[in-house]
Structure 1
C-alpha cells in the first residue's frame, strides 16, 4: 500500500469490520486449496494483506506456520481479533526476510502496490522464499494506475506489463491466468492470477 493518509489506507481504516465480514462470506477457496497442496507439511507461510484473516485461519487449521501481515493497522487488529493470533502491521516494501518462507500468499493485496514499487516488492518476495517456494498473487487487470469507485488505489496492470515485472526475477516457473471476479464495490473485473515457484 501507499503512504499513511492515502485514500486506500483511509478506506480500510473505516471499513475494516465490514470488509472483514464481507470477505468471509461465500468465499471461493479453490486457489487456496491448490496452494496448500503445493506446500510441504508444516510449511512456513507469509500472508501479505491478510484482511480479515480468513485465509490465514484456513492455513493455520491445516497445520502451517503462518505469519499474517497487513499494511492497515485497523485491518491487522480486526484480523487479530478474529484469529486470536498476532498480525504484523507491515507494508510490502518493509519485507526483509531472507529464505524464510515455503510459501507467500498475496490474494487481492499486491494489486494496491504502486506500479513504481512492484518490481522491488517482487524481488523482496523472491528473496524471502526458500528454494522451490510457492508464491500466489492476484491483480485487477487494466491499463495503468487509478482508483476504483470507492477511492482505493490499484495498479491495474496489463497481462504483458505484469509479466515484465515478474520476468525481472529468476523464477523457476510462472503461470498467469485470467478469470472474472466481483469485488467489494460490486463491480465485475478481469482478475489476473499468478502462480510462481522460486
Structure 2
C-alpha cells in the first residue's frame, strides 16, 4: 500500500468492498491463464474479495491469494475457505516460486517512486519465463480519489518504460474504458509480460 489513508480505507470498509457486485475480468483471466501450463502456481497479489482467485482455482491452478489489508484478507479467507496471507507488495520476498503473478487493480496503489522496486520483487518471485499480469488506472499525475485512496495513475509510455528498464520481455499493454469502486468512468491499462 502506498499510504495510511489507502490502508485505512480498505481496513475500515473491508466487508462492503469485498462483497460488492463486481464483474469478473474473464477475458483478462483467460488470456493470462492461457500463458500457463495446467496446474501452474499463481500468486494473486492484492486479491481483494478473492473472486479472481476462486476463478483460477476452479480452473485447476495452484493459487496463493494475498492482500495487504488484514481485514480484506479475512474477507477473502471467508469467501475462499482457504488461508489468505497478509502481504504488502514491498514485503514480497520469494525467489522463483511462481509461474504466474496476477495483480488486478492492486499495484495502482504503489507509490510511483517505489513501483520499480516492487516490480523487481515480482520478477524475482517468478520462475524463468513466468507471466505477470497487472492493471492500472491510467493518468498523468499521481493523486488520491474521493475515498482518500492513493493512485499512481500511469501512462502506457511510463509503464512500458518501467517494465523495459526492469528487464521484462514480451510487454503487451492495452487500454480500455471501465469503472472502479467509485463508480466513475475510468481509463484502465492492462499489461501482460514475461520474466
| TM-score class normalised by the smaller sequence | over 0.9
Q: Tell me whether 1:2 sits opposite 2:2 in the alignment.
A: yes
Any unmatched runs of 5+ in structure 2? none
Q: Tell me whether 1:19 sits opposite 2:17 in the alignment.
A: yes
**Match runs of 1:159-174 below 5 Å:** 159-174=156-171
3-state SS in 2 of match to 1:76: helix
Structure-2 separation of matches of 1:197 and 1:118: 17
State the match for 1:53 in structure 2. Answer: 50
RMSD: 1.1
Q: Tell me whether 1:157 sits opposite 2:154 in the alignment.
A: yes
- Rate the CA distance shift 1:25–1:159 in 2: closer, same or farther, 3 A: closer
Deviation at 1:129, TM superposition (A): 0.7
State the match for 1:43 in structure 2. Answer: 40
Any unmatched runs of 5+ in structure 1? none
Aligned mate of 1:142, from 121, 139, 143: 139
For each residue in 1:29-55, what CA deviation from the matched residue of structure 2 results, as whole angstroms up to 9, or x when unmatched?
Answer: 110111112110110000110000001
Structure-2 separation of matches of 1:105 and 1:63: 15
For each residue in 1:151-196, what CA deviation from the matched residue of structure 2 results, as whole angstroms up to 9, or x when unmatched?
Answer: 1000011222112211122222101111011111010111011010
Poorly superposed stretches of 4+, deviation over 2 Å? 24-28
Contact 2:140 2:155 in 1 (8 A): yes
Structure-2 separation of matches of 1:100 and 1:27: 26
When the two structures are superposed, what TM-score results if normalisation uses the length of structure 2?
0.96
- Rate the CA distance shift 1:26–1:159 in 2: closer, same or farther, 3 A: closer
Deviation at 1:130, TM superposition (A): 0.8
Contact 2:24 2:52 in 1 (8 A): no
Matched residue count: 195
3-state SS in 2 of match to 1:78: helix
Deviation at 1:131, TM superposition (A): 1.3
- Rate the CA distance shift 1:66–1:181 in 2: closer, same or farther, 3 A: same
**Match runs of 1:156-195 below 5 Å:** 156-195=153-192
Structure-1 separation of matches of 2:168 and 2:129: 9
When the two structures are superposed, what TM-score results if normalisation uses the length of structure 1?
0.95
State the match for 2:78 in structure 1. Answer: 81
Structure-1 separation of matches of 2:142 and 2:185: 18
Structure-1 separation of matches of 2:110 and 2:2: 7
3-state SS in 1 of match to 2:121: helix
